[in-house]
Structure 1
């Protein structure tokens, strides 16, 4: 995908860029010509990313800290591309959901996306340039999963937030879409789904018979950021191997 898409001259912000999908997106965008700012709350992850891909600028900040984010992202911009990838997954049975897990999940999975998008979209509008935002959601936004009451709910809220953003930002030539992956084989994904019994139960519900690889998600995000999807906004791109049709 990278070879066919060029983001030369564009500035991109990727949140949750220390590991997994976010890190891979940051690297792919950089290699496709974008000037990338990678945001994470983990300094060590950003340091290793900067060594791997020296052209990437880094921003170490906790997205739950509203004031710090406002200052840091405001100073780092303006951007024309934004990938809201940062998320937390605090899995608890419904009857055992804690206030702290709920608050942290709302702050990062929903509140931070709204806030970072506000800051970046205002910059886009002030510059008078078109922009593209991709929010990383999940198949969990569309289907109830055991022990995922908070995660499913925050991702469902994120899908609707993205649609309203698309509606209100469209007149400013800013497109907003989500990608909704199934389980992705990041390092964390491999750990969480290493139990053959647990993974078999999920894979049996996926018509393509496998989990997603990181590149499957990266390629879809790059497509939605690119001019090749110039007429697509307010959409959710399922990267679920058919999970939702089964």
Structure 2
């Protein structure tokens, strides 16, 4: 199944590394013009070297006013991937106010705010659109030391459903992808200990963690017209973890 985005313009947050970076490259490869957003200027500079022509915006999306300023002149956007996220892992009784506030600011508030900015111009232009929020299996399953992270992803899932409900009549579809552990560079470092990985792997019927490509291809499908009747869904990319 070939997916093409020629004539479309996409915005991807958290585009400097991992899922976001590979999503940018996949969208470019499928013919889209792409705006890549990250808080790391170094990551954006290296991304442009790999994908000449990508427009970049460097901003900390946790800062509401800075985001307004940075995205004020982005131009038309048809496709949005809210991928920016942080994972600050702490035991429940050790959760700090700073970690709580930062996690919700990036994982939930930023997705809402960027969506507001993009959707307003979609509506003004009278066009249809598609949004994918990058959530996690942690939205639906408690994982030790992930209290705040799980809570943010649970909130993001419900935000996805509310966006689908309110934006559907405007012909703007909203869905999420909910991967298990993904083998990004960070994922490989965090889950390289076989003893730590075994507990989670034993709950995945396919017996492996997700590769970045698994998630990226799911995002592209949900952005495309191939999923034109899918709206408000939270798509597990977890090898069956949530089925058990």
- TM-score, normalised on structure 1? 0.98
Specify the alignment match of 2:13 in structure 1.
15
Specify the alignment match of 1:220 in structure 2.
218
CA contact (8 A) 1:30 1:55 kept: no
Specify the alignment match of 2:107 in structure 1.
109
Specify the alignment match of 1:129 in structure 2.
127
- 5 Å-filtered alignment, 1:224-235, equals 224-235=222-233
Specify the alignment match of 1:88 in structure 2.
86
SS of residue matched to 2:6: coil
Q: Tell me, in whole angstroms, the C-alpha distance in 1 between the residues paired with 2:52 and 2:154.
A: 36
Specify the alignment match of 2:200 in structure 1.
202
Q: Tell me, in whole angstroms, the C-alpha distance in 2 between the residues paired with 1:116 and 1:13.
A: 10
Question: Pairwise CA RMSD of aligned residues?
Answer: 0.7
CA contact (8 A) 1:74 1:120 kept: no
Worse-matched range after superposition: 62-71 or 184-193: 62-71
Specify the alignment match of 1:237 in structure 2.
235
Could you tell me which of 171, 180, 183 is aligned with 1:182?
Answer: 180
In the alignment, structure 1 segments of 5+ residues that lack a partner are none
- CA drift of 1:74 comes to 2.5
Structure 1: 4+ residue segments shifted above 3 A? none
Specify the alignment match of 1:60 in structure 2.
58
- CA drift of 1:78 comes to 1.9
Q: Tell me, in whole angstroms, the C-alpha distance in 1 between the residues paired with 2:26 and 2:72.
A: 24
- 5 Å-filtered alignment, 1:96-175, equals 96-175=94-173
Q: Tell me, in whole angstroms, the C-alpha distance in 2 between the residues paired with 1:126 and 1:190.
A: 43
Question: How many correspondences in the alignment?
Answer: 244
Q: Tell me, in whole angstroms, the C-alpha distance in 2 between the residues paired with 1:193 and 1:171.
A: 42
SS of residue matched to 1:104: helix
Q: Tell me, in whole angstroms, the C-alpha distance in 1 between the residues paired with 2:72 and 2:173.
A: 20
Specify the alignment match of 1:69 in structure 2.
67
Q: Tell me, in whole angstroms, the C-alpha distance in 2 between the residues paired with 1:77 and 1:144.
A: 40
In the alignment, structure 2 segments of 5+ residues that lack a partner are none
Q: Tell me, in whole angstroms, the C-alpha distance in 2 between the residues paired with 1:96 and 1:117.
A: 32
- TM-score, normalised on structure 2? 0.99
Could you tell me which of 69, 77, 80 is aligned with 1:79?
Answer: 77
Q: Tell me, in whole angstroms, the C-alpha distance in 2 between the residues paired with 1:205 and 1:160.
A: 25
CA contact (8 A) 1:29 1:36 kept: yes
